Structure 1
Amino acid sequence: MDKWVTYAVISMIFAGFTSVIAKMGLAGISGELGLAVRTMFVAVFVIGFAALFVAPAELKSLAPHNLFWLGVSGVTTSLSWIFYYKALKQGEVSTIALIDKASFIVAVLLAWLILKEQITPRVILGCVLVGSGLLVVAYRPAT
């Protein structure tokens, strides 16, 4: 198995824990405060990780375009987290997490439009299955 697949599976497992643990941490506080506290922990952890594993010489390879696109990514990540935590505070983890993971469909479309990545029948089927799963979990019959 390729290393990136292993990393992606580990990411998936931790991401699954993240939503449930975050919901527990939001008890009695606002989603905004919870996100701010979580983000401080993330920043310290990631900076520490980078200090251990990024060679100082690698910093010289940072170009303005890297800073720009990573900055834009940071803004979109922040907006995603802000609205995710607002939803998490009010809704069910299962539905919110699935809606969030439907970002796969958005990512596929953007990768096709911007990065010119191929959309294969396998990827289309995956998008249909994710979208179908979202509808099944999110649908609430009238009572």
Structure 2
Amino acid sequence: MWWIYALLSALFAALTALFAKIGIKGVDTDLATAIRTVVIIILAWAIVFVKGSNNTIGSLTRQNWTFLILSGCATGLSWICYFKALQLGKVSQVAPVDKLSVALSIILAAVFLGESITLKTGIAAALIIGGTFILIF
């Protein structure tokens, strides 16, 4: 079941790149990121309230809060850089290079979370890294 959500995530990420490239024409990318963020905040909180998940906010630990805040900061910085890259480059170049995050996630998960890298995962990460360098150079 996880892979269905992962595929939907990929689809929505692809649409994000396409819609953003059209939407940022002649717009400051930081302003565009702020507008996008407001939309995401409204959508995310609407889902939380519809599902009733807001009742569990009191059970979050200090560690939950710390790492969710850090994740939010990383996401915001990623979006700011992504929008600037989209404004300067082609979607067909920026979006695949952005997906270098997949290989970086694999490496960081091994280093910091102790996740093992199988041969298959290692080859996939190497191909992503190789493809990224082909696109850049």
Q: TM-score range by the shorter chain?
A: over 0.9
Matched with 2:70 is 72
Aligned equivalents of 1:59, 1:73: Cα separation in 2: 17
Aligned equivalents of 1:103, 1:84: Cα separation in 2: 12
Identity of aligned residues (%): 33
Matched with 2:116 is 118
Matched with 2:91 is 93
Aligned equivalents of 1:93, 1:132: Cα separation in 2: 19
- The answer to whether the 8 Å contact 1:31/1:89 transfers is yes
Letter of the aligned partner of 2:8 in structure 1? I
**SS of residue matched to 1:49:** helix
Aligned equivalents of 2:54, 2:122: Cα separation in 1: 42
The structural deviation recorded for 1:95 is 1.1
**SS of residue matched to 1:13:** helix
2:101 paired residue among 100, 103, 109: 103
Give the structure-1-normalised TM-score: 0.90
Letter of the aligned partner of 1:85 in structure 2? F
Aligned equivalents of 1:130, 1:54: Cα separation in 2: 39
Matched with 2:59 is 61
Give the structure-2-normalised TM-score: 0.94
Question: Which structure features the higher share of helix residues?
Answer: 2
Aligned equivalents of 2:117, 2:16: Cα separation in 1: 30
Aligned equivalents of 2:34, 2:134: Cα separation in 1: 32
User: Gaps (5+ residues) in structure 1?
Assistant: none
- The answer to whether the 8 Å contact 2:110/2:116 transfers is yes
**SS of residue matched to 1:78:** helix
The structural deviation recorded for 1:120 is 0.7
Matched with 1:43 is 41
Letter of the aligned partner of 2:105 in structure 1? A
The structural deviation recorded for 1:97 is 0.8
1:11 to 2:9 alignment: yes
Aligned equivalents of 1:86, 1:44: Cα separation in 2: 24
The structural deviation recorded for 1:56 is 4.1
User: Gaps (5+ residues) in structure 2?
Assistant: none
Q: Deviations over 1:20-58 (max 9, x none)?
A: 100100012111111111111111111111111243442
When the two chains are superposed, the root-mean-square deviation of aligned CA atoms in Å is 1.2
The structural deviation recorded for 1:104 is 1.1
Aligned equivalents of 2:54, 2:47: Cα separation in 1: 13
